[in-house]
Amino acid sequence: MAPKRRTDSVGSDKLSQIAKKAKTDNENGDGAVTKDPESENILSEFKMTTVLRDSAREKTVFVHGKLGDQDAVVILEKTPIREDALAELFTGSKLKLEMKNDIYSTYRLQPPPQQNAIKATVVCPATEKHVKKYQRQESSLVKETGEDYKSITLPYIEKQSFSVQWVHNILEKKAEAERIVYEDPDPELGFVLLPDFKWDQKQIDDLYLIAIVRQRDIKSLRDLTSKHLPLLQNIFQKGKETILQRYGLAASQLRVYLHYQPSYYHLHVHFNKLGYEVPGCGVERAHLLADVIQNLEADPEYYKTRTLYFPLRADHGLLGQFTEAGRL
């Protein structure tokens, strides 16, 4: 699962206080402060308690602990190797031979410091839901009919009252305005397009952008009908045009899709470079936007009645609702 993009205002204030303390602690005798103290020292206050999950293949680790007196989750991820940095990597690294056998040899390579970065994402204050979300767990495939959605899923969503204030902040340009790469201001057909936090924007091979619709009453795929076709077609067309103009990727090189279930209940569309196996792009959860448009053209109420399948982790509350209803 992708990390949450926003903390609430209390969390932001707390992080600012921690950063200021770190800045003060980092001052030397003559009052000088090292460069960019907030980003360098925020994690010096982090006290680890548990490793929630790690992945050798994805080179990530999820850690639970404390920032000050608040629960926090820190996600550490090795940054990709960039093609334009290979020459420096080859010439500026130190090698230590580990094994040699005929034509094969392996080394421990120590790259230059500037190429040894780790991306750190901080969720603070982290709730129990955040902690459970990042724990390693088994998943089950749920079969949801149109009736199941109305009687089980929708009541669960409404009862949980998942916050999407961070989405509204983006739409109102109260946050992340500088990251927006395209926006259509139309209240019915409009959207904003911006990079997902999983993409560091340093190489095109792992391009990942999100289109967030301006309409605020469309929670997910289940709410879509034929009346939303102009909106979906607008996102599809203008999103592809923007990516071609800005990043040089043709439409044939893109994977454009919606999640069901989504990670947050405000309609948004994912744009990935084809070939980049981003988490959540598999058939269990991803629905190609081209297919969604075609399905709604053929049947205006397609997603109101269609049986949909999606994976849920063992601790997900919705999985418990389906179990109690005898649907698993």
CATH number at residue 7: 3.30.200
Whether the predicted pLDDT of 104 surpasses 80: yes
Same domain, 179 and 318: yes
At residue 13, the pLDDT reads 52
Q: Any idea which residues carry the catalytic annotation?
A: 268
Q: Do residue 126 and residue 234 come from a single domain?
A: no
- The confidence score (pLDDT) of residue 42 equals 76
Paired tokens of 190: 């409009």
pLDDT tens for each residue of 175-205: 999 999 999 999 999 999 999 988 888 889 9
The verdict on 280 and 303 lying in the same domain is yes
What range defines the domain where residue 302 resides?
A: 137-324
Residues 24 and 87 in one domain: no
Do 93 and 112 form a contact (C-beta atoms < 8 A)? yes
The CATH number for 216's domain is 3.30.428.10
Tokens of 317: 């509350």
Residues 199 and 316 in one domain: yes
Give the residue, 14 or 90, on which the prediction is more confident.
Answer: 90
Residues 109 and 169 in one domain: no
pLDDT at 313 over 50: yes
**Count of structural domains within the chain:** 3
In a shared domain, residues 222 and 190: yes
pTM of the model: 0.67
Q: Are residues 225 and 305 in the same domain?
A: yes
The answer to whether residues 86 and 229 belong to one domain is no
Give yes or no: residues 123 and 224 share one domain: no
Where does the pLDDT of residue 323 fall: very low under 50, low under 70, confident under 90, or very high at 90 and above?
Answer: very high
For residues 98 and 25, state if they share a domain.
no
Dihedral, CA of residue 239, residue 205, residue 280 and residue 198, to nearest 10: -90
User: Which residues have CB under 8 Å from 264's CB, separation 6+?
Assistant: 162, 164, 167
| CATH code, 86 | 3.30.200.40
Please indicate, yes or no, whether residues 100 and 132 belong to a single structural domain of this protein: no
